[in-house]
Structure 1
Amino acid sequence: MNIVVTADTHMPDKGKQLPSRLIKELKKTDLIIHAGDWNSMEVYHMLRTYGEVKGVYGNVDREDIKDRFPAQEILEVHGHKIGIVHGHGDKKTTEKRVLEAFEGEEVDIIIFGHSHIPLLRYFKKKLLLNPGSPMDKRTHPYYSFVILTVGEEIRAEHVFFKDKN
């Protein structure tokens, strides 16, 4: 199963349309995961035109998004458990907060956002995955998202791009 993972779209504040580089991958995906900070339900409707969308709400999301999406979720894909959470909160690092969010849960992958910092690494047999942002790179040189392939094996790769048009 091919999954496009994104987060922190912050639309329409950071742009009115999805980047063409992201759209190229959305056209080929089986599932779309958004790790929060959509900023508007319009993002969901845009993504939904490309396939099934799962996700969670983030700290800037309004009530309509909070009514539609949970704070955290666990999906099972081809026998692998995927935890999704935005990662916002007080004190501690974003990584520590997301690990605590799934403490005691048997998840293989934890997808999160919030920091806008692309991350792909293992911590105690859990793959931590932050796609970065396709709309708001902050101080980073590139916008980004992740292509996650889940089958017998798990493969994850960031897609980095300079132009969000």
Structure 2
Amino acid sequence: MNILVFGDTHMPSKASKLPQILTEAMQEADEIIHTGDWQTLFVYKELQAEWNIAGVYGNADEPEVQNYLPASLTIDRNGFKIGIVHGHEGRGGTTEKRAENAFKEEADIVLFGHSHIPYLRFHGKTLLINPGSATDKRKVPLCSFAWLKLSEDGLHARHIFYKPGL
């Protein structure tokens, strides 16, 4: 199973559309997950009309988005428990710690956003992944998204980095 993970799109304030490199990758995905900060419900609905997207809301999302999407979500895929959260709320001094602490039951993988900084690291038995930002890089030279490939044999995760506007 190939899962495309992206977030922190901040549309329309940071971009009027998703980068072509990302929309091309979306064509190859079995599932798409957004880690929050869509900004408007229009963005979510436009994407949902074309692709099946699971996602959560973030701190920069309008109240309409926050009323429509959950703050966190847990899904099971190919035997892996995946937690999805934006990472702006909760216990912990860092985005990574808040994301890790967001779930009562331990997840195999936690997908989060908020910082716009790509992250891929195990915390104990849990793999934490921040895809970075699809449109608004911060403190890093490139925008990014992540691929998560799950099989019965294991998982493979990686980032794709690209120049803004591609």
TM over 0.5: yes
Structure 1 residue 25 corresponds to structure 2 residue 1: no
Taking the aligned partners of 2:139 and 2:149, their CA distance within structure 1 comes to 28
- 1:8 aligned residue: 8
Shift of residue 52 of structure 1? Answer: 1.1
For each residue in 1:71-124, what CA deviation from the matched residue of structure 2 results, as whole angstroms up to 9, or x when unmatched?
Answer: 00100011110001100037611111111112x413100000000010001011
Percent of aligned pairs sharing the same letter = 48
Taking the aligned partners of 2:30 and 2:72, their CA distance within structure 1 comes to 21
Residue aligned with 2:101, SS: helix
- 1:150 aligned residue: 150
Q: Which consecutive aligned stretches of 4+ in structure 1 deviate over 4 angstroms post-superposition?
A: none
Residue aligned with 2:17, SS: coil
Taking the aligned partners of 2:3 and 2:66, their CA distance within structure 1 comes to 23
2:8·2:38 contact (CA, 8 Å) conserved in 1? yes
CA RMSD of aligned residues (A): 1.4
Aligned residue type for 1:15: A
Shift of residue 4 of structure 1? Answer: 0.8
Shift of residue 138 of structure 1? Answer: 2.0
Residue aligned with 1:101, SS: coil
Shift of residue 49 of structure 1? Answer: 4.4
Shift of residue 154 of structure 1? Answer: 1.0
CA 1:78–1:120: 2 relative to 1, 3 Å: same
1:5·1:147 contact (CA, 8 Å) conserved in 2? yes
TM-score of the pair, normalised by structure 2 = 0.93
1:17-96 counterparts in 2 under 5 A? Answer: 17-89=17-89, 92-96=93-97
- 2:108 aligned residue: 108
Count how many residue pairs are aligned between Structure 1 and Structure 2. 164
Shift of residue 51 of structure 1? Answer: 2.3
Shift of residue 47 of structure 1? Answer: 2.5
Taking the aligned partners of 1:134 and 1:147, their CA distance within structure 2 comes to 13
| 5+ residue gaps, structure 2 | none
Taking the aligned partners of 1:32 and 1:12, their CA distance within structure 2 comes to 20
Residue aligned with 2:5, SS: strand
Residue aligned with 1:97, SS: helix
Taking the aligned partners of 2:65 and 2:74, their CA distance within structure 1 comes to 18
